[in-house]
Structure 1
Amino acid sequence: MSATLTTGAPVAGREAPRRWIWAAAWPVTAVFVLSNAATPLYVLWQRSIGFSKGTLTLVFACYIAGLLASLLVSGTLSDRLGRKVVLLPAIGLALAACAVFATAASVPALIAARLLTGIAVGAVVSAGMAAVTDVAGSRRRPLAALIASCAMVFGAGLGPLLAGLLAQTAPGPTVTVFLVEAVLLALAVLTVLRMPLPPRQRGNSAGGRRLRVPGVPAGGRLPLLLGIAVFAPGITATSFVLSLGPSLLASLLHSSSRVLAGAMAFVMFAAATGAQFAVRRIRRRTVLLAGAAATAASMAALALAVRGGSIPLLVLAAALAGTGQGLGQLAGLSLLNTAVRPDRLAEANAALNVGGYLPAGILPVAAGYLSDAIGLTTGATLFAAVLAGLAVAGGLLVLANRRRLAE
């Protein structure tokens, strides 16, 4: 393994113009806008439909359930059949999710919309991010990892900010938000259709099974483990902020501003984007350790925020959570880009995200129902303590393998 984030292995295929590396990332951004666009709207749905904080986190977790199910097949199918074959149906499901969200009048409808969104995101995480690497070519593979990772977090942050602004200012916010998103997704379809991908390689050695847990070859197992060790706590922290952040603002911190809820999520993912650009030439070991430290610090700030009713501390916790996710995600993708050959790359991306999203689905739901039982302050504090411990454990695992990271 190389010592910095700027080393990559060659990938087959001629190089496309540089502008296409950025354009190839647009479908990732557009689908991730949808992934969190509902965040500022949950308070509206809670009032009109009526459901608890536990149910809110369960609705949020259904997205992760759909995403994990999608990851089981999308990575392998993308490596075998091609990126466009997976991306176009995924964007179609995202458009269907927009229609369900726009007309949702019950919890089952919200669950269905979140499941469709999760399936679309899972396909884009594996096939879309691999497509960016394919378009980039061998010399620009490190740049592709950076652009693909930033496209994900930028879209994830833009969604709630856009939704918050429209929800505060536009009529029929739960309809308007998803009409705008449908336009973004339509542009993504056009981008995929024109994407200059290299010829698909045949003879993928991943085997004939299409339904299986995504994995990596033997040489990629340690990079995968280290990436998950830091990425998983980071994305679990951001999932908590996305699912319960608006409730914290509304009930604990006495603020019902949907713009503020969306802006807090945007700050979180803007921090993730900025952090990735800031560390692109730094050693992977340092990036992983910084990611683990940021997540642990985020949980400390979260505990202080809910104890003291401080909005600035809550925003700081969100920014640190985004930083932790962004650094863990970038380092994990970069490690896999180096260690895994092109015909297994989408599957490897899927494996990284399965490892990250499993705790991101389970722990916030547990925190939501715990908060219903013992109060939001105590529930959030316990969640913060558990996740801080996982982040520290991830950092210690990186330190234990620091020599391997320097090879």
Structure 2
Amino acid sequence: MPTITARADQPANGRIWPLLAAAAVFAVTMVGTTLPTPLYRLYQHRFGFGSVTTTVVFATYAVGVIAALLVCGRWSDQVGRRPMLLAAVLLSALSAVAFLLAGGLPLLFVGRVLSGLSAGVITGTATAAIVELAPPRHSSAAPLVATVANMGGLGCGPLLAGILAQYAQRPLWTPFAVDLGLLAVVGVLVRLLPETVRVSSPVRLRPQTVRVPRSARGAFVPAAIAGFAGFATLGLFTAVSPTFMAQLLGENNIALSGLVVFVLFAASAAGQITTVRVRGRRALAAGCVVLTGGMILVAAAMLAGSLLLLVVGAVVTGIGQGMGFRAAVTMVSEQSEPQRRGEITSALFVVLYVAISVPVVGVGVLAQAAGLQTAGVVFAVCVGVVALIAAVLVTREPAQRRR
């Protein structure tokens, strides 16, 4: 089996550029996963499909992510960080090409699946690489750098696409052409990065199992429920918020719709960063309550047709989602046996990416039957209820364990 050395090539010199380069690779690759967000309404008009199809196109992203997590979640530990980072960049580039060439639904689906595969490959790989490439004096900040790169990339995707689609020529072509240019740059950076994994033979690439042992379920269940609520909200904003803004708020500016999604992800990063020192269970309960408050504001925005309320709701929702997400990962990690930690964390992420896709398709179906406003309000209420259930479970569970 391969052996891993935490800092194989660069520990002594203390250079910071590999850390920043790895963060740039992570961020740019994640940009591609949300780049289509403000463009779905344009695709609807061009190819003549409705809300249900839009949400299904979006949801295929999760299929790619889950497949990558299950099939190659540990491959970077065996073949090295750089090969897997290059694979993620290449998959992202192929996704952009699929969108560039799209003349109908088939290539949209292909592009989303490839984007999901890219995200599934890079998330664990880049996070590990950033931690391993950090100079000793910056090692404590490495997880924060990974969080900012991840959420920053996710937030910048809609913002970049919205601005280019609104103000540049060829709105369905220019965002992906720019994305390919950025990917070419970070592809070069990957080639320059030191390798932090020393590989020895034989290398056995096997799919990863996903099971949650009984000893970890007390932490896993509330964490998974809270994470489900938070990621369902991310799915809603990134799949249908531009359509909501156009049809319910009368706001057709594509750049503005991208900005709203950017605000959500920026708030999520802030929620994760500002609660680093708050204990997992307390942070999870607080995040669920904040998320519920954000859903109330989003529902009110839809009923009142208020853009201001929607933006405020996005900020509050993002903070709550970020708090809950960080706490969920922390709780599951702390309550897992070291030899099972990767497996249990993968199980959590499978739940999260189911949450980012399946409920959104339900919103699309309900919107077609009852209208966007009703679908959005029902979704907000359901997410709020699920988040409160998680808050109750996480506050009651320690007391039950003491009995």
TM-score interval, normalised by the smaller of the two chains: 0.7 to 0.9
Query: Within the alignment, does 1:48 sit opposite 2:53 as a pair?
Result: no
- How far does residue 118 in structure 1 lie from its aligned partner after superposition? 0.6
The aligned counterpart of 1:362 is: 358
Change (3 A) 1:307 1:125: same
Higher mean alpha-carbon deviation, 237-246 vs 74-83, is at: 74-83
The aligned counterpart of 1:304 is: 300
- How far does residue 293 in structure 1 lie from its aligned partner after superposition? 1.6
- How far does residue 284 in structure 1 lie from its aligned partner after superposition? 2.5
Aligned-partner residue type, residue 81 of structure 2 = R
Query: Within the alignment, does 1:22 sit opposite 2:20 as a pair?
Result: yes
The aligned counterpart of 1:78 is: 76
Query: Within the alignment, does 1:257 sit opposite 2:253 as a pair?
Result: yes
- The 3-state SS of whatever aligns with 2:172 is helix
- The 3-state SS of whatever aligns with 2:356 is helix
Higher mean alpha-carbon deviation, 22-31 vs 303-312, is at: 22-31
Cα distance in 2 for residues equivalent to 1:230 and 1:103? 38
- How far does residue 275 in structure 1 lie from its aligned partner after superposition? 2.2
Change (3 A) 1:76 1:52: same
Counterparts of 1:3-402 in structure 2, within 5 Å, are 12-13=6-7, 15=11, 17-136=15-134, 142-200=140-198, 210-214=206-210, 224-335=220-331, 350-402=346-398
- How far does residue 89 in structure 1 lie from its aligned partner after superposition? 1.3
Aligned-partner residue type, residue 269 of structure 2 = T
Change (3 A) 1:344 1:117: farther
- How far does residue 326 in structure 1 lie from its aligned partner after superposition? 1.9
| Structure 1: runs of 5+ lacking an equivalent | 1-10
CA contact (8 A) 1:74 1:126 kept: no
Higher mean alpha-carbon deviation, 237-246 vs 75-84, is at: 75-84
Paired residues, what number? 393
Cα distance in 1 for residues equivalent to 2:80 and 2:220? 23
CA contact (8 A) 1:27 1:124 kept: no
CA contact (8 A) 1:145 1:334 kept: no
Deviation string for 1:100-126 (max 9, x for gaps)? Answer: 111212111111111110110111122
Aligned-partner residue type, residue 141 of structure 2 = L
Change (3 A) 1:311 1:164: same
Cα distance in 1 for residues equivalent to 2:81 and 2:337? 16
Change (3 A) 1:79 1:330: same
Cα distance in 2 for residues equivalent to 1:34 and 1:169? 19
The aligned counterpart of 1:5 is: none
Cα distance in 2 for residues equivalent to 1:196 and 1:177? 31
Change (3 A) 1:336 1:75: farther
Higher mean alpha-carbon deviation, 14-23 vs 153-162, is at: 14-23
- State the structure with bigger RCO (CA 8 A, min sep 6), 1 or 2: 1
CA contact (8 A) 1:37 1:159 kept: yes
Change (3 A) 1:334 1:50: same
Cα distance in 2 for residues equivalent to 1:330 and 1:175? 35
- The 3-state SS of whatever aligns with 2:126 is helix
Cα distance in 2 for residues equivalent to 1:195 and 1:59? 34
- How far does residue 177 in structure 1 lie from its aligned partner after superposition? 0.5
CA contact (8 A) 1:291 1:328 kept: yes
| Structure 2: runs of 5+ lacking an equivalent | none
- How far does residue 393 in structure 1 lie from its aligned partner after superposition? 1.6
TM-score (norm 2): 0.88
Deviation string for 1:336-392 (max 9, x for gaps)? Answer: 666679987765654332121112211011111111011111111111121111111
CA contact (8 A) 2:208 2:343 kept: no
Higher mean alpha-carbon deviation, 91-100 vs 191-200, is at: 191-200
CA contact (8 A) 1:30 1:184 kept: yes
Cα distance in 2 for residues equivalent to 1:314 and 1:267? 11
Aligned-partner residue type, residue 172 of structure 2 = T
- The 3-state SS of whatever aligns with 2:52 is helix
Cα distance in 2 for residues equivalent to 1:306 and 1:231? 24
- The 3-state SS of whatever aligns with 1:174 is coil
